[in-house]
């Protein structure tokens, strides 16, 4: 089996649906497998109450998986990734993939280095393209220096663990005629290393930041939580999501889950508004691959203007309401 399967996707399924980014990983894995005349395996980590055969496995197969290994999250602890490392490592040993794909989100970025270390594999994070040399060797392109440079990497280990940026691969079209195999992967129960005392989940409202086509982000220049109310109006009229710089989050103006950047989320929208954000490389690391950045800043020398396609020098509190009024006329 191992000589044919050459890519593995790790999907942490919440409820009974996979996210768009998981299907994008599946599409990337399919590209690698097709190049090597091989197959795609998925390791789906499933909530205990979900029946994998009902819709998850058929959906994954129709979207490119040849084999679906699944493991119940009953014995996996989200706050103690050791158990996840264990089950992913078992899947790697089983299928000996050429590439293991995870989404470049908090979960993927946390898990990937541990899995790579355990399997003594190379790791490439924040990948935004997969290509092949003439001899079929895989090349991975990742952004670095806050989106100002790209690295092209040729892995030198039999397996490479890859975290994939969102929205760089299109999910494959559904193919209901595809046939695949489904089997359970036993999870070895590990003794917990930490005890979870409390967990508060933030309620998800509106468009998910990572999936949004339009993101309106605010920084210190927005002046406080009230400033974000104005940005909310702009985001709402473009069906966009709100984001923020680290400073705005650290000051407690908005939740940390809104943070875009090196130590926050990576977004690749079609349109990214950077409002009152100076454009530090740490921030650009999270939005540098947006198709278009529009910057609003009072300082004409702010670094954000060199990353922006369009820039307006001025006070956001005058410009944002004017933009909202104009967009409301046409959208
Ligand atoms: C290891 C590390 C990781 C980091 N990770 C991140 C990260 O993930 N994300 C992140 O964002 N940062 C991150 N940072 C912090 C980063 O270096 C910057 O400090 C931060 O991005 C600056 O935030 P800002 O642009 O909101 O604030 P500032 O740099 O203070 O910029 C505020 C801007 O607002 C403009 N302004 C002021 N008033 C107005 C107005 N009325 N209208 C319009 N514009 C106005 C100013 O001209 C200025 O350019 C990290 C730093 C480190 C060291």
* Domain residue limits, the chain: 5-184, 209-330
211 DSSP assignment: G
Cβ–ligand 1 contact at 56 (below 6 Å) = no
Q: 153-157, 181-185, 186-190, 254-258: lowest mean pLDDT where?
A: 186-190
Over residues 125-139, mean pLDDT: 90
Q: How many Å apart are CA 98 and CA 120, to the nearest integer?
A: 13
pLDDT recorded at residue 78: 74
Q: 46-55, 106-115, 236-245: lowest mean pLDDT where?
A: 46-55
Nearest CA to ligand 1 atom 8: 261
In this prediction the ipTM stands at 0.99
pLDDT recorded at residue 292: 97
Same fold for the domain at 5-184 and the one at 209-330?
A: yes
Question: Does residue 211 register a pLDDT over 50?
Answer: yes
Over residues 59-86, mean pLDDT: 89
Nearest CA to ligand 1 atom 49: 278
Helices (H) and strands (E) in the chain, counts: 9, 14
Mean pLDDT value across the chain:
91
Q: How many Å apart are CA 5 and CA 20, to the nearest integer?
A: 23
Question: Does residue 311 register a pLDDT over 90?
Answer: yes
**CA 110 to centroid of ligand 1, rounded, Å:** 25
Q: How many Å apart are CA 105 and CA 116, to the nearest integer?
A: 16
The CATH classification number of 5-184 equals: 3.40.50.620
pLDDT recorded at residue 2: 45
Superfamily of domain 209-330: TPP-binding domain (3.40.50.1220)
Q: 117-121, 151-155, 192-196: lowest mean pLDDT where?
A: 192-196
Cβ–ligand 1 contact at 311 (below 6 Å) = no
Cβ–ligand 1 contact at 264 (below 6 Å) = yes
At residue 134 the predicted structure's pLDDT band, cuts being 50, 70 and 90, is confident
Q: What angle do CA 125, 126, 132 make, to 5 degrees?
A: 80
Residue 269 Cα distances to 152, 204, 278, 325, angstroms: 23, 19, 19, 22
Cβ–ligand 1 contact at 146 (below 6 Å) = no
* Cβ 326 vs Cβ 302: under 8 Å: no
Over residues 275-299, mean pLDDT: 94
Cβ–ligand 1 contact at 246 (below 6 Å) = yes
Question: Which position has the token pair 């989404």?
Answer: 103
* Cβ 272 vs Cβ 258: under 8 Å: no
Q: 28-42, 132-146, 225-239, 250-264: lowest mean pLDDT where?
A: 132-146
Sign of the Cα torsion 95, 127, 238, 317 reads positive
Identify the residue with better confidence: 78 or 303: 303
At residue 4 the predicted structure's pLDDT band, cuts being 50, 70 and 90, is low
pLDDT above 70: percentage of residues in the chain: 98
């Amino acid at each position: 089996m191992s000589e044919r399967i050459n890519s593995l996707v790790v999907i942490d399924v919440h409820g009974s649906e996979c996210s768009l980014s998981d299907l994008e990983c599946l599409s990337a894995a399919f590209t690698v497998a097709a190049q090597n005349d091989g197959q795609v395996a998925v390791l789906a980590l499933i909530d205990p109450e979900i029946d994998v055969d009902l819709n998850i496995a058929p959906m994954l197969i129709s979207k490119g998986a040849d084999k679906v290994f699944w493991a119940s999250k009953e014995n996996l602890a989200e706050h103690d990734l050791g158990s996840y490392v264990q089950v992913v490592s078992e899947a790697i040993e089983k299928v000996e993939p050429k590439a293991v794909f995870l989404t470049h989100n908090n979960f993927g970025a946390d898990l990937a280095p541990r899995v790579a270390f355990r399997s003594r594999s190379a790791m490439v994070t924040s990948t935004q393209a997969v290509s092949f040399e003439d001899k079929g060797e895989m090349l991975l392109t990742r952004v670095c220096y806050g989106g100002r440079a790209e690295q092209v990497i040729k892995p030198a280990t039999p397996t490479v663990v890859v975290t994939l940026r969102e929205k760089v691969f299109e999910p494959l079209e559904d193919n209901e005629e595809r046939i695949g195999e489904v089997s359970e992967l036993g999870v070895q129960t590990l003794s917990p290393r930490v005890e979870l005392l409390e967990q508060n989940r933030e309620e998800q409202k509106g468009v998910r930041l990572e999936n949004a086509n339009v993101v309106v982000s605010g920084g210190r220049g927005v002046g406080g939580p009230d400033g974000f109310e104005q940005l909310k109006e702009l985001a709402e009229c473009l069906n966009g999501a709100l984001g923020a710089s680290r400073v705005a989050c650290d000051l407690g103006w908005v939740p940390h889950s809104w943070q875009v950047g090196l130590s926050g989320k990576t977004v690749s929208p079609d349109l990214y508004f950077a409002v009152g954000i100076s454009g530090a490389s740490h921030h650009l690391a999270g939005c540098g691959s947006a198709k278009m950045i529009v910057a609003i800043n009072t300082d004409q020398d702010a670094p954000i203007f060199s990353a922006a396609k369009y820039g307006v020098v001025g006070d956001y509190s005058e410009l944002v309401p004017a933009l909202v009024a104009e967009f409301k006329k046409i959208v």
